[in-house]
């Protein structure tokens, strides 16, 4: 289980590199992203296709083959950002 922050300002879902690494996934490519820290300059980040399960008391929501961006988020105390692509 990982902890995600719901981020209505993020267009895509981001998962910490340390969560992705043990899954031994192959990157589906690189994607250029803008973040508050990059300003007007894009940064190329690896993208992976994953499955996500959002648990709920009544029913869980399952997403398959969702493209996510790998980044370093652990320093912020989270394992991922749940972006508008899922919301």
pLDDT digit string (tens) for 18-65? 999 999 999 999 999 987 777 788 989 999 999 999 888 888 899 999
pLDDT at position 38 = 75
Taking phi first (over 0 means left), then psi (-120 to 50 degrees means alpha), and beta for anything else, what does residue 11 get? alpha
pTM summary value: 0.87
pLDDT at position 22 = 95
Neighbours of 13 (CB within 10 A): 22
Q: Which domains does the chain have, with CATH numbers?
A: 4-82 (2.40.70.10)
- How far apart, in whole angstroms, are the C-alpha atoms of residue 81 and residue 83? 6
């Amino acid at each position: 289980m990982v902890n995600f922050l719901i981020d209505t300002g993020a267009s895509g879902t981001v998962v910490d590199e340390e969560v992705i690494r043990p899954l031994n996934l192959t990157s589906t490519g690189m994607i250029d992203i803008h973040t508050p820290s990059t300003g007007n300059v894009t940064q190329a980040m690896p993208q992976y296709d994953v499955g996500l399960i959002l648990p709920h008391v009544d029913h869980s929501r399952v997403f398959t083959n969702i493209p996510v961006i790998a980044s370093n988020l652990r320093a912020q105390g989270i394992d991922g950002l749940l972006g508008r692509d899922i919301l």
